[in-house]
Amino acid sequence: MTKPYIIWNVNGKDYRLRMTTFNAMQVEKQLGMGATEALNHLMDSRVIVGMLWGGLQKYHHGMNLREVCDLYDDYLAGGGNAEKIIDILMQLLAQIGIGDTESSAEDDAKNVESPAAGDTTI
């Protein structure tokens, strides 16, 4: 069974990400563009942080934009990079119906040997 959230690991701590329609609308409002247009700007830090903020709200409600910026900075300092986060962003978009959820399931199946098999940990 597929989990209703994505695991994003930052310095050994797991964060559950789930983009809801309401939070997607809030992110679109913050960004001043729709989610489909944001696809063309996935390497922009405001899109990355905005989408992470939206994904964090369901399970980490109340985390503000500054805290998400700090969390993303911690992720980068711990060896993450913008290219690695694209997979997470694409999965968040798939949760609201933009993109292919099948490829995410196939990618999960390929990562069986990863430490958190079945979870998408970056």
pLDDT digits (tens, 9 = 90+) for 78-92: 999 888 899 999 999
Type of residue numbered 53: W
Backbone angles phi, psi at 15, to 5 degrees: -120, 130
* pLDDT tens-digit readout, 99-122: 775 544 444 433 323 333 344 444
Average pLDDT score, the chain? 84
Task: Kindly report the pTM of this predicted structure.
Answer: 0.80
Other CB atoms within a 10 A radius of the CB of residue 120 amount to 20
Tell me which residue has tokens 């934009």: 65
The SS3 assignment for 97 reads coil
